């Protein structure tokens, strides 16, 4: 029986902190975070925080039945009609735009190192968050298709002390709309965004994230068996882009569907959705908690053993 022991990455202290990386299976460029408090808002300079990612053998992908998703718009939310906008600032996007994807943007510095992690359940996440995105016209079309109204919201989901949000380049949560049980973030072409994860629990979690159906670390089709970033108890991380090396990521930028990373890699069928699967850390074995044998022996050394 295989043990889900994995090896991930520890973020090195930097002035601007961004997520970890992989030596193997890094995202390929198409042809042609910052540390954050456990509440999402304006970014501030922070002390060094840890981001790690783990490697594990492939395991069968389970059904989504065991995952929990945040859904349902609040009943008192304001209705979002054709002439309304989100919050205090209107979002001007041409109605003729075919929709948004996510491009392989400019490189941003990010350094990490490897650490270990064991999942409590190797294949079934404790929580799965899913946020769809498009331009204003695309969100309106989604509401029309579902024969429902869109209600103003924030691009953030929360459950049992865990949070997942989309941030703009200033560190503010993107505007969104609740359309039925789905949450739709509203973006603008060429705008940069990041994925923010907060863990307000006493357990560590491995978080496997995807954009447009592709894993953000290796750029291949996303799966629960993939490695992920490790978020320590009562901490948070921001993922700024596709992992390209141990020291850099390619920024997430909204683009046309034709210019999206997934479309240019030949797999654009999942454009427009971002996911995060949270796996709780397994209880540590006694052997992991005790000190190394040499340290244990020296602690019990007796200066007068024959007295």
What is the residue-wise DSSP string for 53-110?
Answer: E-B----PPPPGGG--------TTPPEE-TT--STTS-----TT---EEEEEEEEEE-
If pLDDT is split at 50, 70 and 90, which confidence band does 140 have?
very high
Q: Are 42 and 167 in contact (CB under 8 A)?
A: no
Question: In the prediction, which pLDDT does 302 show?
Answer: 81
Is residue 304 predicted with pLDDT exceeding 60? yes
10: buried, middle or exposed (CB in 10 Å: 19+, 13-18, 0-12)? middle
In angstroms, the CA 133 to CA 99 distance is 9
Q: For residue range 250-273, what is the model confidence (pLDDT) as tens digits?
A: 999 999 999 999 999 988 899 999
In angstroms, the CA 3 to CA 288 distance is 15
Average pLDDT over residues 226-240: 94
In angstroms, the CA 231 to CA 248 distance is 19
3-state secondary structure of 47: coil
Question: In the prediction, which pLDDT does 292 show?
Answer: 59
Beta-carbon neighbour count of residue 2 at 10 Å? Answer: 8
Is residue 174 predicted with pLDDT exceeding 50? yes
Kindly state the DSSP code that residue 222 receives in the 8-state scheme: P
Contacts with 1 (C-beta within 8 Å, 6 or more apart), sequence order: none
Question: In the prediction, which pLDDT does 267 show?
Answer: 85
Q: Are 96 and 135 in contact (CB under 8 A)?
A: no
Question: In the prediction, which pLDDT does 125 show?
Answer: 97
Question: In the prediction, which pLDDT does 115 show?
Answer: 83
Average pLDDT over residues 233-237: 96
Mean pLDDT of the chain: 76
184: buried, middle or exposed (CB in 10 Å: 19+, 13-18, 0-12)? buried
In angstroms, the CA 80 to CA 220 distance is 36
> Minimal CA–CA distance to 71: which of 201, 193, 180?
180
In angstroms, the CA 150 to CA 198 distance is 26
> Minimal CA–CA distance to 123: which of 68, 67, 202?
67
> Minimal CA–CA distance to 40: which of 236, 240, 273?
236
Least confident of 103-107, 158-162, 283-287: 283-287
């Amino acid at each position: 029986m295989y043990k889900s022991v994995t090896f991930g990455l520890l973020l090195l202290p930097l002035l601007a902190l961004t997520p970890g990386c992989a030596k193997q299976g890094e995202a390929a460029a198409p042809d042609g975070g910052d540390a954050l408090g456990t509440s999402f808002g304006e970014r501030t300079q922070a002390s060094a925080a840890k981001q790690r990612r783990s490697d594990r053998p492939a395991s069968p992908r389970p059904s989504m039945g065991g995952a929990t998703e945040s859904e349902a718009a609040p009943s008192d939310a304001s209705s979002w009609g054709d002439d309304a906008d989100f919050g205090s600032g209107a979002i001007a996007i041409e109605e003729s735009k075919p929709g948004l994807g996510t491009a392989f943007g400019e490189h941003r510095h990010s350094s990490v190192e490897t650490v270990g992690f064991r999942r409590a359940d190797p294949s079934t996440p404790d929580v799965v968050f899913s946020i769809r995105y498009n331009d204003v016209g695309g969100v309106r079309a989604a509401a029309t298709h579902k024969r429902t109204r869109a209600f103003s919201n924030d691009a953030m989901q929360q459950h049992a002390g865990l949070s997942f949000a989309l941030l703009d380049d200033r560190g503010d949560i993107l505007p969104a709309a609740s359309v039925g049980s789905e949450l739709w973030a509203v973006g603008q072409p060429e705008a940069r965004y990041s994925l923010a994860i907060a863990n307000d629990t006493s357990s560590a979690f491995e978080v496997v994230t995807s954009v447009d159906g592709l894993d953000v670390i290796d750029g291949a089709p996303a799966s629960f068996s993939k490695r992920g970033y490790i978020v320590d108890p009562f901490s948070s991380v921001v993922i700024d882009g596709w992992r390209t090396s141990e020291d850099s990521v390619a920024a997430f930028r909204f683009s046309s569907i034709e210019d999206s990373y997934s479309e240019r890699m030949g797999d654009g069928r999942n454009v427009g959705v971002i996911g995060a699967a949270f796996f709780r850390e397994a209880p540590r074995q006694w052997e992991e908690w005790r000190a190394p044998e040499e340290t244990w022996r020296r602690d019990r050394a007796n200066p007068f053993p024959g007295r």
